[in-house]
Structure 1
């Protein structure tokens, strides 16, 4: 991954979530969950295995003030459901939930679900584990699709409370 190219695209390109939802081939992602109002997909440049992004389908730019209480609750329920599915598949030591992006780039509200694998040294956890500058995982399309399939099965395949 070229961090400078990514940053330039994030700041000047189309909204990556909207482009993905519109079917733009340059913004393909492996889908793990979808309902009428939300979508969840594998991060294209994961720093930890199974990193997933969850977003409302509507182009919303402020995670709290642009969502009413009910819509915010619905979004967080999807984040929880997807997280439980990821945890069932990957059995992480810890799960990080972050809403990232800004008006300067990647403005569409999205939550990052990043599961820390067991055994990662403390010095390589938390923000260190999430920064692309520290490296991204190299996964083949087949590996990503297999993981997405297993996550979909976990998310949809059991009743979550």
Structure 2
């Protein structure tokens, strides 16, 4: 057995309820779902975070996430879906995974799962945006 629980599922060494299994991803039901139909989509290759996923794999990976989101909405007769991932913080398994959760109005989930805030003022918002633009420019 491998030490990563998701790699173990990808390898077929651990039981799971598979939803999609192809050359790019394995998607399976979350063992502790927010709602029935909550799916995790993981890349076949072990990477810990989105920023670790090779650039040429991002498009194919998210094409599968998109496909799974549509299947979850249709299959669970949901009004929509919540699609999310964590990088390091709150990432219970250190293997990139995207949550696809069926959503309906008044289902009990309230937007994001943390309190939302505001920027102190326009200057702070401008400064934060400038810092992020600088990081993007440095990486292009």
Change in Cα spacing, 1:14 to 1:126, as seen in structure 2 (3 Å) is farther
SS at match of 2:6: helix
Corresponding residue to 2:54 among 51, 67, 73: 67
Determine whether 1:43 maps to 2:30.
yes
> Is the CA contact 1:51–1:115 (under 8 Å) kept in the aligned structure 2?
yes
Q: How much has 1:16 moved relative to structure 2?
A: 1.4
**Count of residue pairs brought into register by the alignment:** 111
Determine whether 1:92 maps to 2:81.
no
CA RMSD of aligned residues (A): 2.3
**1:158 aligns to what?**
none
SS at match of 1:58: coil
SS at match of 1:61: coil
Q: How much has 1:14 moved relative to structure 2?
A: 2.4
Which protein shows a greater Rg?
Answer: 2
The two structures have a TM-score, normalised by structure 1, of 0.60
**2:5 aligns to what?**
16
Gaps of 5+ in 1: 1-12, 129-161
> Is the CA contact 1:100–1:112 (under 8 Å) kept in the aligned structure 2?
no
Gaps of 5+ in 2: 114-140
Higher relative contact order (CA 8 A, sep 6+): 1
Q: How much has 1:73 moved relative to structure 2?
A: 0.6
**1:81 aligns to what?**
67
Corresponding residue to 1:33 among 20, 26, 30: 20
Alpha-carbon distance between aligned partners in 1 of 2:13 and 2:87, rounded to the nearest angstrom: 20
The two structures have a TM-score, normalised by structure 2, of 0.69
Q: How much has 1:93 moved relative to structure 2?
A: 3.0
Determine whether 1:120 maps to 2:107.
yes
